[in-house]
Amino acid sequence: MAIDQPVAPHPRWGHPLIRIVVFLAVAGVIGGLGLGLAYLVDPSGPGDGPGMLVTALGLIVAALAAYLVMTGVLERRWPVELDPRRASGLLGGLALGTTLLLVSGGIAWAMGGLVVEGRRPVGDTPWLTDVIMTGFFAAVVEEILFRGIVFRFLEHWVGSWIAVGASAVIFGSVHILADDATRVSTAATIVEAGLLFAMVYVRRGRCGGSSACTPRGTPCSAMSSGSRSPAMTTPGCSSPTPPART
């Protein structure tokens, strides 16, 4: 199975902007159905309970399905970056991510930036919703959007390194919409997430491997496990094409 698969877009419908519109349309329809199902499961809406869990799962399915449609129909290729056989490094990624989170949390606590006031009973902790929202949702949806689409298309137009900087700024700018976002947090997001994730994606060709704090090898992070961006095999891109693997 080749690491790379050249993109041969549909001659009429393969323009990058059309691909993006189709992706958003398909994701919007499926995500809307998931939101409707969430209200059926929990009439109070997508809060911290079952409604939020169903909504998150619906958006994950929507992003994956929309990406399959975009690549399969408009790019006329099977997205090898979604092949489950490329999902590797799950346990190592989880261990490394957990270690880094504990270390960063410990540093924040030691410097007074984190205060632990008590422990919430296990039964009161929506752990499944937290895992889906902070782990799988971010890894699936954000990696597909920002590395699988934004970075990959920018790379085709302007080359790898300009695309790294531009996609990082876009990534950080979106996160400034968070309720507790600040200028410092936005700048940190641009550097420690946007820049680093895109640079590792260029170097190693895997969205999942681009983030130690995102579980590698899961469907969310297997977006490009073991494969370079398909855009790298098209003219005008700065990255070399690696040898095929069988």
Comparing 159 with 89, which gets the higher pLDDT?
A: 159
- Average pLDDT, rounded, for the chain: 74
Task: Look at residue 124 in the predicted model and tell me its pLDDT.
Answer: 64
Q: Name the most confidently modeled range: 86-95, 139-148, 221-230.
A: 139-148
User: Is 42 a residue whose pLDDT tops 90?
Assistant: no
Measured distance CA(27)–CA(19) in Å, rounded: 12
Share of the chain above pLDDT 70, in %: 71
Confidence of residue 13 (pLDDT cuts 50, 70, 90): confident
Measured distance CA(149)–CA(129) in Å, rounded: 26
Task: Look at residue 236 in the predicted model and tell me its pLDDT.
Answer: 32
Confidence of residue 107 (pLDDT cuts 50, 70, 90): very high
pLDDT for 59-70, tens place per residue? 999 999 999 999
Comparing 223 with 102, which gets the higher pLDDT?
A: 102
pLDDT for 116-175, tens place per residue? 777 777 666 667 777 787 778 888 888 888 888 898 888 888 888 899 999 999 998 888
User: Is 87 a residue whose pLDDT tops 90?
Assistant: no
pLDDT for 162-210, tens place per residue? 999 999 999 988 888 877 888 888 888 898 888 888 887 777 655 444 4
Q: Name the most confidently modeled range: 37-51, 80-94, 102-116.
A: 102-116
Q: What is the 3-state secondary structure (H, E, C) of the chain?
A: CCCCCCCCCCCCCCCHHHHHHHHHHHHHHHHHHHHHHHHHHCCCCCCCCHHHHHHHHHHHHHHHHHHHHHHHHHCCCCCHHHCHHHCCCHHHHHHHHHHHHHHHHHHHHHCCCCCCCCCCCHHHCCHHHHHHHHHHHHHHHHHHHHHHHHHHHHHHHHCHHHHHHHHHHHHHHHHCCCCCCCHHHHHHHHHHHHHHHHHHHHHHCCCHHHCCCCCCCCCCCHHHCCCCCHHHHCCCCCCCCCCCCC
The overall pTM is greater than 0.75: no
**Out of 5-14, 72-81, 95-104, 229-238, least confident range:** 229-238
Task: Look at residue 125 in the predicted model and tell me its pLDDT.
Answer: 62
Task: Look at residue 7 in the predicted model and tell me its pLDDT.
Answer: 65
